[in-house]
């Protein structure tokens, strides 16, 4: 099989397109012919050696894919050969074949293109877990989504709207804010040219927001937390801004507010039944057209390293995918 091989991690990771052996199948595993793979911020962080989970080198990056089942291992009855599926793996998705645990695969409707399905699982799974289980977002509450032009931000905008919240989207360009408006944001804030805290105060008449969904971190974290209403909830999704912020603990004290960690990968392992329920709801919404996966950029496999750089530079509009 052909794959992107990461031979050394660091700020300038060493990669090449390599011919590797077809992945063997263990009991409970499925081999999938990959048609498209999604590029996530975690892929670049892992290759840079800055992710919370490290991997030994050499390895094949990529955590999320869509394709067709080629073969099933012993004990698998969840899917069969020929099924169109999406799946997630710790790494290995940036290849034209991947072996995956059967319980990490989901069948998809024929109406959903592979390039869109590839970008569905992690961003919508994270947003669903964050807003449903962690924040317990309720209809009528106000949700502030940062990084709203990227994959997980657009997912949070759509799910927040479906749950009945008023959604305020924050992003770094007018193009990204246009995308957020198309997918349900009521108001938008360009935090490159506006004070985030002041803009939220104007939009909420000084009340503040009930929930902040923050995949950016960095310099936006404190003004976002200061924008919370009484008993607000600040969701720690990730640090696409490049730095992990330090939060003064007097802020949650004064606001009666909570900082809540969102680690979707750990949730899958620790609460598989709840995860299964979330996925059934999400795939129902996808099949009904209630949520969509906007794909802003697509790269062939031989340009996979360029696709990762595109995401890490903050250029993604919606999802960035690699098509095989």
Give the pLDDT band of residue 39 (cuts 50, 70, 90): very high
Cα–Cα distances in angstroms (integers) from residue 243 to residues 12, 39, 50, 151, in the given order: 18, 20, 11, 19
Give the pLDDT band of residue 53 (cuts 50, 70, 90): confident
**What local confidence, expressed as pLDDT, does residue 76 receive?**
96
CATH code of domain 123-265: 3.40.50.720
Percent of the chain with pLDDT over 90: 91
For the CA atoms of 27, 33, 38, 41, the dihedral, rounded to the nearest 10 degrees, stands at: 50
What is the tens place of the pLDDT at every residue in 187-200?
Answer: 999 999 999 999 99
Give the pLDDT band of residue 109 (cuts 50, 70, 90): confident
User: Which has the minimum average pLDDT: 42-56, 58-72, 78-92, 250-264?
Assistant: 42-56
**What local confidence, expressed as pLDDT, does residue 95 receive?**
98
pLDDT at 145 over 80: yes
Domain ranges within the chain, ordered by starting residue? 2-120+293-323, 123-265
With CA atoms as reference, report the closest residue to 228 among 295, 288, 168: 168
Whether 123-265 and 2-120+293-323 are alike in CATH topology: the answer is no
Give the pLDDT band of residue 50 (cuts 50, 70, 90): confident
- Average pLDDT for residues 98-121, to the nearest whole number? 93
Q: Tokens 């696709």 map to which residue?
A: 307
With CA atoms as reference, report the closest residue to 147 among 116, 123, 121, 166: 123
**What local confidence, expressed as pLDDT, does residue 316 receive?**
85
Give the pLDDT band of residue 298 (cuts 50, 70, 90): very high
Judge: domain 2-120+293-323, CATH 3.90.180.10: yes
**What local confidence, expressed as pLDDT, does residue 160 receive?**
98
What is the tens place of the pLDDT at every residue in 130-141?
Answer: 999 999 999 999
Q: Tokens 């940062």 map to which residue?
A: 146
The three-class DSSP label of residue 213 is strand
Give the pLDDT band of residue 322 (cuts 50, 70, 90): very high
The average confidence (pLDDT) of the chain is 95
- Average pLDDT for residues 13-18, to the nearest whole number? 96
**What local confidence, expressed as pLDDT, does residue 242 receive?**
76
User: Which has the minimum average pLDDT: 4-8, 90-94, 110-114, 235-239?
Assistant: 110-114
What is the tens place of the pLDDT at every residue in 201-226?
Answer: 999 999 999 999 999 999 999 999 99
Structure-block tokens of residue 137:
């977002």
Question: Counting every residue, how long is the chain?
Answer: 324
Give the pLDDT band of residue 110 (cuts 50, 70, 90): confident
């Amino acid at each position: 099989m052909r794959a992107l091989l990461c031979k050394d991690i660091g700020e300038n990771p060493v990669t090449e397109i390599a011919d590797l052996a077809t992945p063997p199948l263990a009991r409970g595993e499925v081999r999938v012919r990959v048609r498209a793979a999604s590029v996530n911020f975690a892929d670049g962080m892992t290759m840079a050696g800055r992710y919370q989970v490290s991997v030994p080198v050499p390895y094949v990056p990529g955590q999320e894919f869509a394709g067709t089942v080629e073969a099933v291992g012993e004990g698998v009855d969840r899917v069969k050969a020929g099924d169109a599926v999406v799946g997630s793996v710790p790494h290995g998705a940036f290849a034209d074949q991947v072996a995956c645990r059967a319980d990490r695969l989901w069948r998809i409707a024929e109406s959903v293109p592979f390039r869109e399905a590839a970008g569905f699982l992690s961003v919508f799974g994270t947003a669903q877990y964050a807003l449903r289980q962690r924040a317990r977002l309720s209809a009528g509450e106000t949700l502030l989504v940062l990084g709203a032009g990227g994959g997980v931000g657009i997912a949070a905008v759509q799910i927040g709207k479906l749950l009945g919240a008023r959604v305020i989207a924050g992003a770094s360009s007018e193009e990204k804010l246009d995308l957020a408006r198309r997918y349900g944001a009521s108001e938008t804030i360009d935090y490159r040219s506006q004070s985030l805290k002041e803009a939220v105060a104007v939009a909420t008449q000084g009340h503040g927001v009930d929930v902040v969904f923050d995949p950016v971190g960095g310099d936006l974290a404190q003004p976002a937390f200061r924008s919370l209403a009484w008993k607000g909830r600040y969701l720690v999704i990730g640090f696409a801004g490049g730095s992990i912020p330090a939060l003064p603990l007097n802020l949650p004290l004064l606001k009666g507010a909570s900082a809540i960690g969102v680690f979707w990968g750990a949730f899958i392992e620790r609460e598989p039944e709840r995860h299964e329920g979330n996925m059934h709801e999400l795939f129902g919404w996808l099949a009904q057209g209630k949520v969509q996966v906007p794909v802003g950029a697509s790269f062939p496999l031989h340009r996979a390293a360029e696709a990762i750089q595109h995401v890490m530079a903050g250029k993604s509009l919606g999802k960035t995918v690699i098509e095989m």
